[in-house]
Structure 1
Amino acid sequence: MATTSNAFNFSSFMQSSVDPRTGLYTLSIALPALNANDLCGPDLPLQLSFNPMSKDNKGFGIGWSLKLSSFKIDPGMLSLHTGESFLVADNGPGNKPVIVEKKIDSFHFSNISTGNKERFRIAHKGGLVEILEPQENDTTVAVPTRVIGPSGHGITLCYDNKTPSKVRLEHITDDTGRILLEIKYPTDFRTELTFNPNTRSSARYTLDLHQEKLQKVTLPTSSEEYWELDYDFYDGFPFLTSVENPDKGVETITYHEGTGGHKYPGIARYLPSVDEHWVKPDIRKESTHILTKYTYSTDNFLGNGTGLTYGNEDGTDQLYRYTGTTFKYSSTAKHYRNKDVYRTVVSTFNRFHLMTSQVTTDNGCIETITTKYHEVDNLEFKYQPEHFQLPDTVTKSWTKADDPMVGDYEQTKTTYDRYGNVLTELKADGTRMVREYYSGADDPEEFERNLKSVVIYPAAPSSPGEPQAQIISSEFF
């Protein structure tokens, strides 16, 4: 059974982290920029990402994928290259789809199929437009075949349509005909990604697999420079346990297993969560080793503690069905160096997976960040205002553990329109910024995103008799 939660929507060459919401360890490999059309774009960031909640092997190893948008036509699961996922009720060509869990108007999805040819279009608020089409060897999933930037320049993505039920990207070209990326799958155990092939700036990354697991990533610089990975499997899902870098630095990860993991509400099922995470830059020098131990509240991001029963997966976040306003869950990370705790971070989240509090204790000093959102009490997700996931008031305070009377605080307040655009911002120093936007009716994609004016009002003088700073006003045409 898959696990769906919008907590997953919030995760150098290798970037790794333990998500304080879910307790999952994730890893991504940043790939070179495509630099398409003589640097005219579009700018499509590419990275190989590891998701322990995936059993799929798309040619890069179980759990690994090239982070591109895709649309599973049935049941209508849309995954964006930004990392977000949404269930889409597609009402056919020319009809507006229903995306229940999409609040902010950050993208527009449309079915542009004609006749028997299925095509889908995603217009992003940032200006990128993607055309998705199913391939001959798997008509159940639409993948990007064309990506166009705000300037009109584009790139074309071509796939291997010979391998049954497995759509694999083969190359990306720009409008000049230049091949930006070529991917070859010479065997089931090796994948080669070559950027700018047949040029002096060609760079090849080699991925070696064992039993469908990505175990080795060799860099373009030398066959002696590579990353090595190892895993454990729980319920058929891959969980990384070791990551070794080319300098022989090592990360090791152990998990709370069985009943020690996150409990699914109302059923006898548990999800492993990170217990200990070691970072050893120099395996021989213990003074460089950092250990982080994680503990989690019984209430969790799956909805345990709400009284709900975890049901059949339908592509939506089941915690969003909860209407109470007092539910929260938390995680605690204790960082050790030389066997002593030097920093503790307690992160607390609400029923919508929004971080409401983060308390960091370091060497007797305490920093507390509390965030109030534009959430309306006692309303479930579908009745919340569009901008409710954006911060209303952020308060930062600093105190000392042995003397709570010593300290300071600052506060920032922000308002938004229904499209997620900042309208007003009152900063901690007393300055206030007011923004106005052009109507979406004037935008080719009908986004309300273009600034019309910005006015900055200065803070009041700190003492009587001081001159008032000027008001700065800017207009955009």
Structure 2
Amino acid sequence: MSLNYSTLTHDNWGFGEGFSLGLTQYDSTSNLLSLSSGEKYRLARGSDVIRHQKLKHLRFTFTNGRDDSQGYQLAWKDGKVEYLTLVGHDFFTVSRIVSPLGHAVNLNWDFGGQIPILRTISDAYGELCSIDYRDNGATVTVWPQTTARYQLDFVLTNSRWLDNVMRRSQDASPLSWQMHYSQAGGGQDTRLLSAVDYPTGMRDEVIYQDEGLRFPAASGQNNYLPVVLKHRHLPGGGQAESETEYRYSSQNFLGFNGNFGDWAADSDYMYTTLTDYRYDSTATTYSEQGKVVVKRTYNNYHLQIEEEVQRDGVTQRSETEYYATPGVFIEGQPAQFLLPRKTTQYYIDNAGASRQEVTITEFDEYGNPSRQVAPDGTVTETVYYPAGGEGSACPAEPNGFVRFIKQKVVTPQTQ
């Protein structure tokens, strides 16, 4: 479990606006499924069908196979299974996680009136974590039933914004993390995390640009999405500082200056058909090691298709081709459409001399690598057992995935 932060949400799970625990949850009002991996999907209303899921790396189903009265079951290809149950009126939160070996942890939730709040985490040996909430924050106690227990105290400002995190234990001095914010657009109601002071003396700080990314005309929105303009990293302890400046193309991940049809609040405006739409960002880092410029370019499926790094007059450029087929609606894209098919690395020195390396990769519909041709010509081929198993050689995969390796053959270049 980790604490995540996003400027795009004002939800407060007890740790401050924008902060969440990174656990799987499903909001049946918005049909938004947020996974512990960071992936987000929309479900077809009233069903367990994930929209736009092509790769068979997970399976999200009704626990009883019919409806959501007993919640949902999320099976991952690696063998982990998460069970989601209803908390309050609209939220399904993960209440049990079972590892591939059968070990389980249980999560106990309450409903805080607007969103669920996590109370305890336990396993077969006892309570692993407990959380107590108050108006101005929360206290997390780890291993509460042991002598090794420690606490994390989260203090909020105006019951909304995380101000400080304090770690307390019986055998060590307290450790403190201090948060700082800036007002987006000069307003007092929307605050963006702008700096963090660490107990080691390190500090990270960012400067935002209010007039950042523009929304497409189809959205009807004339405002901007703020972006990070500059990031300063101050390690402390006499170590050298570094500073990174960011620039963004006018075209962006929102789809500005693109024509992708009608705008819908519950869909990705650009995620219909693969086109030649591109957007990019450039990060320039200054440090005692010199200047490094990194430019990244993406297509309208938000896949990085090119990265160019310039350092000391030397350029390294990576170009990636994916399984995604141009001009085809997402419904007709192959299961592997987000996976790389070919990667070309270019190396250019300050005298203009260059070389390139090409890597070819193939994947099956479960995301398993099945074939790779390395730059030196070495071929690696991998064969997997079927989901139903193969006699005494391999048992059936419990959740119907193809993931157990049957054979791997590495053939070096012969010439």
Gaps of 5+ in 2: 389-395
Match of 1:360 in 2: 309
Q: Distance in 2 between matches of 1:336 and 1:47?
A: 30
Alignment of 1:426 with 2:377, yes or no, is no
- Match 2:330 to one of 373, 377, 381: 381
Alignment of 1:60 with 2:15, yes or no, is yes
Q: How does 1:295-374 map to 2 (within 5 A)?
A: 295-308=247-260, 311-314=263-266, 316-321=267-272, 323=273, 325-337=275-287, 342-374=291-323
Does structure 2 retain, via aligned residues, the 8 Å contact 1:90–1:111? Answer: no
Q: Which has the higher contact order (CA 8 A, sep 6+)?
A: 1
Does structure 2 retain, via aligned residues, the 8 Å contact 1:52–1:237? Answer: no
- Match 2:179 to one of 229, 238, 245: 229
Alignment of 1:292 with 2:239, yes or no, is no
Match of 1:457 in 2: 411
Does structure 2 retain, via aligned residues, the 8 Å contact 1:54–1:237? Answer: no
Match of 1:32 in 2: none
Q: Distance in 2 between matches of 1:307 and 1:171?
A: 48
TM-score under structure 2 normalisation? 0.90
Q: How does 1:23-62 map to 2 (within 5 A)?
A: 46-62=1-17
Alignment of 1:179 with 2:127, yes or no, is yes
* Cα RMSD, aligned residues only: 2.1
Q: How does 1:125-274 map to 2 (within 5 A)?
A: 125-135=77-87, 138-161=88-111, 163-176=112-125, 178-185=126-133, 187-211=134-158, 212-220=160-168, 222=172, 224-234=174-184, 237-258=190-211, 261-266=212-217, 267=220, 268-274=222-228
Q: Distance in 2 between matches of 1:294 and 1:216?
A: 28
Identity %: 28
Match of 1:124 in 2: 76
SS at match of 1:139: coil
Alignment of 1:279 with 2:233, yes or no, is yes
Moved more, 142-151 or 346-355: 142-151
Match of 2:393 in 1: none
For 1:49, the aligned partner's letter is N
After TM superposition, give the deviation of residue 90 of structure 1 in Å: 5.3
After TM superposition, give the deviation of residue 444 of structure 1 in Å: 2.1
After TM superposition, give the deviation of residue 443 of structure 1 in Å: 2.3
Q: Distance in 1 between matches of 2:261 and 2:195?
A: 34
Does structure 2 retain, via aligned residues, the 8 Å contact 1:62–1:238? Answer: no
Does structure 2 retain, via aligned residues, the 8 Å contact 1:265–1:309? Answer: no
Q: Distance in 1 between matches of 2:58 and 2:335?
A: 14
Q: Residue 175 and residue 220 in structure 1: after superposition, are their counterparts in 2 closer, same or farther (change >3 A)?
A: same
Match of 1:76 in 2: 31
Does structure 2 retain, via aligned residues, the 8 Å contact 1:278–1:291? Answer: yes
Does structure 1 retain, via aligned residues, the 8 Å contact 2:358–2:374? Answer: yes
Does structure 1 retain, via aligned residues, the 8 Å contact 2:50–2:60? Answer: no
Q: Distance in 1 between matches of 2:68 and 2:197?
A: 49
SS at match of 1:47: coil
Deviations 1:63-115 (A, max 9, x none): 001111011112321111111110012555xxxx3222212111111112589
SS at match of 1:300: coil
Alignment of 1:435 with 2:390, yes or no, is no
Moved over 6 A (4+): none
Q: Residue 320 and residue 223 in structure 1: after superposition, are their counterparts in 2 closer, same or farther (change >3 A)?
A: same
Match of 1:112 in 2: 63
Deviations 1:190-214 (A, max 9, x none): 3111111131221211111112111
TM-score under structure 1 normalisation? 0.79
Gaps of 5+ in 1: 1-45, 462-477
For 1:103, the aligned partner's letter is K
SS at match of 1:172: strand
